Structure 1
Amino acid sequence: MPQIIYSPSKYIQGSGEIARLGSYCLQMGDKGAYAIVDPYILSRYGQEIKDGFAAQQLPLMLREFQGECSLVQVEQMVAELDRGQVGTIVGIGGGKTLDTAKAVSHFANLPVMLVPTVASTDAPCSTLAVLYSESGAFDRYLPLRRSPDLVVADVAIIAGAPVRLLAAGMGDALSTYYEARACSRSGAVTSTGGTGSLAALALARTCLDTLLADGQQALKDAGEGLVTAAVHHIVEANIYLSGIGFESGGLAAAHAIHNGLTLLEECKHVLHGEKVAFATLVQLILEGAEETEIARAVEFCWMAGLPVTLAAMGLAGVEQDRLLLAAEASCNLENSPMSNMPFAVTPQQVLKAMLDADKRGAGGVA
């Protein structure tokens, strides 16, 4: 089985990049762009985006993102495309906006430029789009033909977003090394179609080390609207290191459990990375990880304001049969990454680990 690494053709990170998108798009071809944009970003930066494309004399169609990253939405957008005028798909916003742009690019067979305006997930660099139902439940992973052609991270915009989103990205990134390590131990085939490599595992480890070294300072600085070295480091960890690390290193129990939790209406309000953070604690308990490692992960989550209990997930007092529903889905959903664990995992083991994680997070001893 070959080792395979996916990565964007180009990754750009800096401040003020939103004004240069037209120039970057021109480098990808002389046709116009179809841009899918988060509503807030469109209202706040729409004119700046338009001016950047006008300066390059490139046609631009702006499409406000609404609803879910669902197959229904994607197919509607593909049908809207004017193939004679559009040469590039652009996604500007959060994870679901970017995944929608990737899916549109995939079905339209056009290059894509992604502009994350928050660092809440590692979606921008991946060759996957996560599709949801119209009601917001996990639907499927959509494997794409290629990695994004260009990822542009404007750190000034990202630092100005609510700090909760940066923290959620840190929660998503926290799982990267532990899942890649599990896949390395099991020899799992990742979404790339090959096994993980030393390089992918090293990037995943660097992601974790960066979170532990700079996470607290980055949250403080971003909360004050400052663009500092720590903020730059965490943006890179959340978007690039985690993006390459999860895709080429592999997913395992943490994301499988996240996917199961999306079925519970009680935690619909919890962000992707927040669910993943709690699920990472569950994975470590499933693995029988060293106590010091579990304690360090719990302490990190406490520091970042990430959930470490079921109550923080909106699941206080929920009957165990509801939790078992999520546990069963984590093991049984089609193509669940739970199969990448180095040992067989049952729904009952997941449920017990969830309850143990809750007890640890609440200060008890599991």
Structure 2
Amino acid sequence: MITTSIFPGRYVQGDEALGVLAEEVAHHGNKALVLADKFIMEHQRSAIESALSDMNDALLEPFSGECCDDEIQRLVARFSARQCNVVIGVGGGKTLDTAKMVAFEHKCPVVLVPTIASTDAPCSALSVIYNNDGSFCRYQILEHNPNVVLVDTRMITQAPARFLVAGMGDAFATWFEAEDCRIKRGANMTGRVGPMSAYALAHLCHETLLEFGAHAKLACENQVVIPALEHIVEANTLLSGLGFESGGLAAAHAIHNGLTVNPNTHAFYHGEKVAIGLQAMMFLTDRPSAMIDTVFDFCEQIALPVCLADIGIHALSETELMAIAEAACAQGETIHNEPYEVTARRVMDCIKMADAEGTRRKRLQ
């Protein structure tokens, strides 16, 4: 049996790490297309320009907000017109996924600067492509992981803590999904079985979240950098990235993709919907009651969604719920990595059960 794992070329993290951005970029190119989201353009533009002041040429380009084919092709054309040789992505998950796609199209290096710790997108050789309306379209597997991922934890604290919490929702699914892939020998994102190191890192991610999650959230709310915050940023970004990509995805992310069929969910973050997917996964995979309690307790502790109403879904008909479940069970979806029977009917029932449990808990508060 051949196992395969993939990693980013360099991972740099720390308080005011933005100060070494130009040094890291210089290893890969001298004429950059710098893709930045709206928040960065409005609030952090001067910091990014200062960090890149030693570069000869850097074009700062606003990101439209959706990682979709139209936006990717617009930026591919901008890269060509300016004859750039490296892409820098600064912002959240969709900004970074788009930067990776532009680099993929031009077969050039990419340097990513996540300004929120809301997903594990920065470290992966994968972009999640959406339709123009925000619904899930496809996964695009890339040729290699980012050349550099640079995380300035001081910058992370400048964003609302909700982003960090959403990242914990995404990361919290990592070990559960990797463990089911390990049991079934399900494929990771390379199409092969993961190595023991990936499963070990996924479990470290899980332990880190439970140990430091609450204090990291508090630190972010107070805009201070402490070791607990550093640990959670690393868990959300690096450990979760390595765990999902080299360990594998399963039901939680597939159910997330199904939830995007409902337009009411589009206002909520990826990790918030993954948390709902994980809660449903607990029932789908017959986890012990104590483990189910651990999942719901953690989500409640850090204010992740615990029922469908928390992600904008109210009073859906059975037909609408079945549409979500069928999308989660589509051919090629990661839910088929589960070592359990998977049908759309079972998935719908487990979504309803998780919603009922979360609703029950909220009533007791």
TM-score range, shorter chain: over 0.9
Runs of 4+ in 1 over 3 A off after TM superposition: 82-85
Q: Name the aligned partner's letter for residue 14 of structure 1.
A: G
SS at structure 2 position matched to 1:54? coil
Q: What fraction of aligned residue pairs are identical, expressed as a percent?
A: 39
The answer as to whether partners of 1:131 and 1:142 remain within 8 angstroms in 2 is yes
Instruction: Tell whether the 8 Å contact from 1:105 to 1:112 is kept in structure 2 after alignment.
Output: yes
Q: 2:336 aligns with which of 339, 349, 362?
A: 339
Q: Which TM-score applies when normalising by structure 2?
A: 0.96
Given residue 268 of structure 1, which amino acid in structure 2 is its aligned partner? H
1:360 matched to 2:363 = no
Residue identity in the other structure for 2:178? A
Query: Corresponding residue for 1:294?
Result: 292
Give the Cα separation in 1 of the matches to 2:267 and 2:41. 23
1:22 paired residue number: 22
AA aligned to 1:255 is H
Letter in 1 for 2:303: G
- State whether structure 2 residue 49 is matched by structure 1 residue 50: yes
Q: Secondary structure at the match of 1:257?
A: helix
CA distance in 2, matches of 1:296, 1:178: 12
Work out the number of aligned pairs and report it. 361
1:267 to 265, 268, 271: 265
Give the C-alpha shift of residue 140 in structure 1: 0.3
Residue from 324, 346, 349 that aligns with 2:346 = 349
The Cα shift of 1:168 comes to: 0.3
Rounded to whole Å, the distance in 1 between the matches of 2:332 and 2:149 is 27
The secondary structure found in structure 2 opposite 1:11 is strand
Q: Which amino acid aligns with 1:299?
A: D
Quick check: 36-45 or 82-91, which moved more?
82-91
Cα distance in structure 2, aligned partners of 1:76 and 1:308: 38
Name which of 307, 327, 330 aligns with 1:329.
327
8 A Cα contact 2:125 2:146, kept in partner: yes
Q: Is residue 210 from structure 1 mapped to residue 204 from structure 2 by the alignment? A: no
Structure 2 counterpart of 1:60: 58
* 8 A Cα contact 1:68 1:96, kept in partner: yes
Kindly indicate whether the alpha-carbon contact (under 8 Å) linking 1:19 and 1:48 is maintained by their aligned counterparts in 2: no
Would you say the 8 A contact 2:92–2:115 is kept in 1?
yes
Q: Is the 8 A contact 1:67 1:134 kept in 2?
A: no
Instruction: Output the CA distance in 2 between the equivalents of 1:314 and 1:51.
Output: 40
**Paired residue secondary structure (2:155):** helix
Which of the numbers 72, 75, 78 marks the counterpart of 2:76?
78
User: What CA deviation, in whole Å up to 9, does each residue of 1:285-316 have, x standing for no partner?
Assistant: 10100100010000000011111112112112
Structure 1 residue 192: Cα displacement: 1.3
Matched, 1:117 2:96: no
User: What is the one-letter code of the residue matched to 1:340?
Assistant: N
User: How far did 1:160 drift?
Assistant: 1.6
The 8 Å contact of residues 38 and 65 in structure 2, kept in 1 or not, is answered as no
Q: Unaligned stretches of 5+ in structure 1?
A: none
Amino acid across the alignment from 2:34 = A
Report SS of the residue matched to 1:140.
strand
TM superposition shift of 1:84: 6.9
Determine helix, strand or coil for the equivalent of 1:135: coil
Distance in 1 of aligned mates of 2:151 and 2:50: 19
Paired residues of 1:59 and 1:85 also in contact (CA < 8 A): no
8 Å CA contact retained: 2:322, 2:344: yes
Distance 1:34 1:353, change over 3 A: same
Q: CA deviation at 1:83?
A: 7.0
Q: Name the residue aligned to 1:39.
A: 38
TM-score by length of 1: 0.96
Tell me if the contact between 2:65 and 2:94 (Cα under 8 Å) persists in the aligned partners.
no
CA distance in 1, matches of 2:109, 2:16: 23
Paired residues of 1:127 and 1:147 also in contact (CA < 8 A): yes
**Superposed CA RMSD:** 1.3
One-letter amino acid of the counterpart of residue 16, structure 2: G
